Amino acid sequence: MAQYFFRISHGAYAGAYDQGTEFESREAAWAEMTKVCSNFLGTISRNLKQNSEWHMELLDEGRKPVFRIRLVAESVV
């Protein structure tokens, strides 16, 4: 089983959890990431400013990104 870490970035804030989580596979890690992200999205989207970005990354044991989910608020006009 491999160990993974979550990192969240929003504006000037960026932080990674110090405690890792073990998953049986990359697919299991992705499934958990999407579940955790979905729990945050309501709050995040209500507080998102125009022209800003929020993202969550899943890092491997070497703290390198494996997956990233981004929420981008863009002003088109």
pLDDT at 46: 86
Per-domain residue ranges of the chain? 2-73
SS3 29: helix
pLDDT at 69: 94
Q: Where are the alpha helices (DSSP H) in 1-77?
A: 26-47
pLDDT at 40: 84
Q: What is the pLDDT along the chain (77 residues), one digit of tens a residue?
A: 899 999 988 766 666 667 889 999 999 999 999 999 888 888 888 888 889 899 999 999 999 999 999 999 898 88
